[in-house]
Amino acid sequence: MTRRLILVLAVVLGGCMVGPDYERPAMPLPDDFSGTTAAAAAAAADSVPAEWWRLFEDPVLDDLVATALANNTDVVQAVARIEEADANVRVVNSALFPQLNAAATGGRSAFSSKVVAPEPPGALLQNNLLLELSASFEIDFWGKLRRASEAARAQDLSTRYAKEVVTLSTAALTTQTYFVLRSLDAQIASTRSTLDSREQTLAIVRRRADSGLASDLDVRQAEGARADEAFQLDDFLRQRELAEHLLGTLTGKLDLTLSPGDIAQLPLPASPPPGLPSALLERRPDIRQAEQDLVAANAEIGVAKAMLFPTITLTGNFGGESAALAGLFTLPGRIWALGAGLSAPVFEGGRLFAQVDVQYARRAQSVANYQKTIQTSFREVSDALTNVRQYAATERDARESDDAARAALRLANIRYEAGYTPFLDVLDSQRTLNVSELALIRSRQNLLSADVDLMTALGGGWQPEQQAAQR
């Protein structure tokens, strides 16, 4: 008992806060994403602007992203959540200050002279006027209010990082959708060119059939190949309209229309250097958000523990009371009072202890979420780096395949017109070229999208000095 009393007195006199102070959980990670040293990456890494989408040097894309960040409803909602959290911090912090209240009452009472009880002194009609200023202040011996303020500040920061997550996601989705649309533009142009070629081939086959040099089977095969290409064109046009609709929703311009463009004209950002340091993950807003959620959960333990201790409150009032308005401000009419109150839980059926356990459990969940977010982030960056590397190789192979298919079609046409090969060889060569052209376009889209994924996975742009700070 004596030891408990000494502990309580020490806490009271020292003004300590109960509950654990925040410590960042240990989360071991490899030094970098590719097995080389972070120092090598620091020497090779170029700065990437915060507006990383400008690296693609497309004014239309720049305008779309800027409009989306200004008008997108998800961004607007995230900003409103920040305003709510800011206001909540002010609400919580207000408890650290004395609470002042002003009160004024007035009344007129009539008393009966026909009752058994003695009459009140004075007249049977009496006035009573009261003007009072009261104050109350809770002494934060146990740190309950300061822990609550700590939790509110962490939640406020969490909403700010959540807004950055939404902003980054909106910019990435707008950019990705724009690349899809430009890829479809290129596929539509390629398909139309192929369709024109099929129509020219059909005309040649029909002339050869009229001259007896080709069969009706060749004509029907040429007609089928043309119809297949027209069907493919219709589907690409449908997909482009859908992509345009999505961009309209993202930017808040529901009537958005974009002129056709060429995805092949978009430059590729420089590839990241080898040995990119994993410490860059600390810049990701979702990781920072998860950590602030953990800070808030940790502070809530202190709030719950402080509820186990007595609450000490100072109170006071000052004012005047009189039967006449002029008497309120005279010395005889002055009233005042000072007091202190203490209330402590005696029996709550284990509710307060259970509440502490609840907060410990919530902190454990926040720790797990924080660690999972880091693990997921590391995987996303590693995946993005792999995709950038492999899609670059895929595009090189697709370009070689496209060149070979073009040469094969040219030879097939020459041999068919000379009567050396059947028309089926021409059809096969045409289909092969069509597939290779579309594959080349999609490989460029995949490479551009992988660059966007990498920017997003690393939390957006960074500067060399930020890398140095992370090390």
- What is the pLDDT confidence band of residue 116, given thresholds at 50, 70 and 90? low
User: Would you state the pLDDT for residue 470?
Assistant: 41
365 vs 321, more confident: 365
- What is the pLDDT confidence band of residue 428, given thresholds at 50, 70 and 90? confident
Over range 186-197, report the average pLDDT: 88
Q: Express each pLDDT in 371-425 by its tens digit.
A: 999 999 888 888 888 898 899 888 899 889 888 988 988 888 888 777 777 777 7
Domain covering 14-97+140-309+349-470, topology: Outer membrane efflux proteins (OEP) (1.20.1600)
Over range 44-62, report the average pLDDT: 78
User: Would you state the pLDDT for residue 132?
Assistant: 85
332 vs 448, more confident: 448
User: Would you state the pLDDT for residue 2?
Assistant: 46
User: Would you state the pLDDT for residue 271?
Assistant: 63
User: Would you state the pLDDT for residue 224?
Assistant: 87
Residue boundaries of the structural domains of the chain: 14-97+140-309+349-470, 101-139+314-343
User: Would you state the pLDDT for residue 468?
Assistant: 38
User: Would you state the pLDDT for residue 465?
Assistant: 43
pTM: 0.80
- Does residue 38 carry a pLDDT above 50? no
- What is the pLDDT confidence band of residue 118, given thresholds at 50, 70 and 90? low
Over range 279-284, report the average pLDDT: 77
User: Would you state the pLDDT for residue 249?
Assistant: 94
Report the alpha-carbon distance of residue 175 to residue 164 in Å, rounded: 16
Q: Residues of the chain with pLDDT > 70: what percent?
A: 85
Mean pLDDT in the chain? 83
Superfamily per CATH, domain 101-139+314-343: Outer membrane efflux proteins (OEP) (2.20.200.10)
Over range 227-239, report the average pLDDT: 91
113 vs 335, more confident: 335
User: Would you state the pLDDT for residue 237?
Assistant: 94
- Does residue 451 carry a pLDDT above 50? yes
> Which region among 179-193, 231-245, 328-342 has the lowest average model confidence (pLDDT)?
328-342
- What is the pLDDT confidence band of residue 121, given thresholds at 50, 70 and 90? low
